[in-house]
Structure 1
Amino acid sequence: MRDILNEIIAHKRYEIERQKRSISYTSLERQVADCSLPVYSLKEALLRSDTGIIAEFKRRSPSKGWINQHADAVEVTGGYEKAGAAALSVLTDLAYFGGRLDDLQQVAAQASIPVMRKEFIVDEYQILQARLAGASAILLIAAALTVEESFRLTRFAKQLGLEVLLELHDERETGHIAPENDIIGVNNRNLGSFVTDLEKSSKMARLLPKDAVRVSESGISNPETVTALRKAGYLGFLIGENFMKQANPGAGLAKFIEGIKSGKGGMGR
């Protein structure tokens, strides 16, 4: 099976260079210097939450195709927030996920909880964009970056007041963890093959810094899984497709949270 991650990253670098010709890096820097949009702490939101759900907005994926092609970002994420999401994640990649930077900007403008830019970030330019769009956090994917790039982009985001969710896929990527990385995710899905293994989060837990807020990503579709992962030390759970494939994603999240609180996914930390 083709390695979709390498394909996406190659396309992303080309895309960024085109964007820089339209709006220069220097221009974005000047705009960020004047930016006063509020920032909400993802880490604190997860520490305070009883469920730790980071509810994701995405229209499609390379493996599943269109999940919810005509979904409205503001409507869906508003439903997520009302249902009790700890934070929001908005995919902004157009070519492979059907997302737009405008989605992020519109969601952040109406949200009162942290909003993360879910993107294949390989350049500081994208982090400047995230800040200007109103994001409170960004995702960095270790598999898409060298260790030096991961450290540099983490520190750049922190300088802008943004938090970073560093996503790992296996034990070989633990070297990407910089001292500044205090929110660390484990993606249960292989980005090359799309195979999902929920045991990955449990196996990786012992390798992560004890003081980091841990987030499990992908393949979570029932409250019982949240229970098991909380026992393994996870406080955050990035869930998108499970809700987005439903007619009313917000209602789907509300039912999921009800299942957790009713004992189908007990709350013990």
Structure 2
Amino acid sequence: MNILERIVKDKKQEVAAKKNSLSLPFLVSSPLFDRTVVSMSEHIITGSGVISEFKRRSPSKQVINHSDSVIAVTSAYEKAGASAISVLTDTKYFGGAIDDLIQARNQVNIPLLRKEFIIEPYQIYEAKAYGADAILLIAAILTAAQVLQFSELAHQLGLEVLLEVHNKEELDGSPLEFVDLVGVNNRNLKTFEVSLETSKELAPLISKEKVKISESGISSIEAIHSLKEYDYKGFLIGENFMKMKNPGAAATEFINAL
């Protein structure tokens, strides 16, 4: 069983427990549910393109940053000029929480991406109720039918959709009708090795109607400039900022250099 399979197995149990404690009508009654979302795709196209991430740890790197608060970091990311902020809400593997999303929402006005292993519609309603503007769908853990169902539901709720793929097979097998942004994860799930060549190889295969996002392994200005040549508009940067003593200052220096 690989890491994604373990995460999905645990996520099914987690979602089942949540559904028993917080009903769907309760989520729909949230004050944030009727909030007009901010377009992540538009902010990326017109802004720096940097999607700064709030992430405490990961299965591959373990502890990244357990000292800085989501309030301090996300506020600093917005001031730094990030186009959007990705908030990890998985607890067991990434040290996040759904409450991180609502705390970030209370601090910033730029788009928030709920970065989560979404396997059920309930989690999409949850994302809207806690203040997300966009959701992440991971092709590697979903069927084509689920990608279509979940992305259509997200649009019905006013959310944008970032579909993450790792290879040509996942891209070819995913319906993109309701997908706004296509993210290419440069990390090999089997070896955890990272290569920007993955983004470059898949770039010509992604519809020009979709906003292209490159994820993982982006730690230099040069990397972004090289990816822009392949029509990438967005760049998800997580560990590179969070591993620094001051993530906000690191983001500011990086974005100013762009």
Alignment TM-score, normalising by the size of structure 2? 0.96
Name the structure 2 match of 1:85.
82
Q: After the TM superposition, which segments of 4 or more aligned residues of structure 1 sit over 6 Å from their partners?
A: none
1:62-141 superposed matches below 5 A: 62-141=59-138
Query: Is the contact between residue 32 and residue 129 of structure 2 (CA under 8 Å) also seen in structure 1?
Result: no
Name the structure 2 match of 1:25.
24
Q: Secondary structure at the match of 2:93?
A: helix
Name the structure 1 match of 2:178.
180
Aligned-partner Cα distance in 2 for 1:34–1:251: 30
Name the structure 2 match of 1:7.
6
* Pair 1:203-2:163 in alignment: no
Alignment TM-score, normalising by the size of structure 1? 0.92
Query: Structure 2 counterpart of 1:6, which letter?
Result: E
Q: How many Å apart are 1:33 and its aligned residue?
A: 9.3
Name the structure 1 match of 2:46.
48
Higher helix share: 1
Q: Secondary structure at the match of 1:96?
A: coil
State percent identity of aligned pairs.
48
* More displaced 10-residue stretch of structure 1: 181-190 or 19-28: 19-28
* More displaced 10-residue stretch of structure 1: 34-43 or 120-129: 34-43
Aligned residue pairs, count? 257
Aligned-partner Cα distance in 1 for 2:243–2:164: 24
Query: Is the contact between residue 58 and residue 241 of structure 1 (CA under 8 Å) also seen in structure 2?
Result: yes
Aligned-partner Cα distance in 1 for 2:219–2:15: 34
Which of 203, 218, 221 is matched with 2:219 structurally?
221
CA-based RMSD: 1.4
Q: Secondary structure at the match of 1:238?
A: strand
Aligned-partner Cα distance in 2 for 1:25–1:6: 26
* Pair 1:257-2:255 in alignment: yes
Q: How many Å apart are 1:191 and its aligned residue?
A: 2.9
* Pair 1:16-2:21 in alignment: no
Q: Deviations over 1:15-69 (max 9, x none)?
A: 00011111123433x42698332310001101101x2000000000001111001
Which ranges of structure 2 fall in alignment gaps of 5 or more residues? none
Which ranges of structure 1 fall in alignment gaps of 5 or more residues? 261-269
